[in-house]
Structure 1
Amino acid sequence: MASRELCERLARIIGGQVITSKPVCLVQTLRKLKLKILGRRSRSPLTLPFALSVESRDSRGRTLNLGETVILEREINPFVSELRKRGIKVTAIHNHWLFQNVPFKYIHWESIDNPVAFAEKSAAAARAVGILPRR
């Protein structure tokens, strides 16, 4: 189980907040996209997430690390390339919603790594393509 302090550190790396630290650490920030579903603007965390979770620490301090974000179609290939450059596996690209105003999807990635390193790599990949704002 991740500590609250670790979760807060991961949240700072992505410029977000801790959603929960038990039973897993989940941190999230919301993307600033003007997305519509069924003609209505959505600001829901279900629509706009950039989220990371960490859990299941091994004896070397590595955790199971998972990531998900909403992604515009034009961002997909550059983001996939940035994640792969950092040794992170991309595991899914798919729709969540129908009847969208712009073409957007969701992407998932994963690794077994030090949780801070995972958050830093994920944030760096996202900042490189404009998914997260540069610091």
Structure 2
Amino acid sequence: MSLPCQRLADIIGGQVITSTPVCVVQSLRNIDATILGRRTRSPLALPFALSFENNIGGKTLNLGETVILQSEINRFMTALRRRGITITAVHNHWLFDNPRLMYMHWEDVGDPVAFAEDSYDAAREAGLLK
């Protein structure tokens, strides 16, 4: 991908997880959570993550995933849809978590900067990120 992955990480206030073969950027949600009674700060449990790949003519396959509380789902889904982004899944990952951690996935093909900005702006609008 010709666009520097760090620029996309900066948009969400996160870090580059990997830049090849796929650019993956991530920040962690600030949720006080436990799994099996143990506090977790794992990036597997608390991600706000985006990936960008297959840049053809400036358009990439853009994917997003975040941990989300049940009370945040409708607000975030509405904010993403308002920006023309397709939501592909809402589900759980863990058993015995507290609070109940859900995960939302979204996608598009297009400008990676616009996707990062739209994803971040939707998350801020819904109260997921500051």
Task: Give me the TM-score of the superposition, normalised by structure 2.
Answer: 0.97
More strand by share: 2
1:106 matched to 2:103? The reply is: yes
Question: Which residue number in structure 1 is paired with residue 127 of structure 2?
Answer: 130
Counterpart selection for 2:39 from 38, 41, 55? 41
Distance, in Å, in 1 between the alignment partners of 2:100 and 2:46 is 14
* Stretches of structure 2 lacking an aligned partner (at least 5 in a row): none
Match in the other structure for 2:118: 121
Which sections of structure 1, spanning at least 5 residues, go unmatched?
Answer: none
**Which SS does the other structure have where 1:56 is aligned?**
strand
Deviation readout 1:46-93 (Å, 9 max, x if unpaired): 00100000000112x110000000000000000000000000000000
Aligned-CA RMSD value: 0.9
Identity of aligned residues (%): 63
Task: Describe how 1:58-77 pairs up with structure 2 within 5 A.
Answer: 58-59=56-57, 61-77=58-74
Runs of 4 or more above 2 Å deviation: none
TM-score, with length taken from structure 1 = 0.94
Q: For residue 9 of structure 2, what is the aligned residue in structure 1?
A: 11
Aligned residues: 130
CA distance in 2, matches of 1:113, 1:13: 16
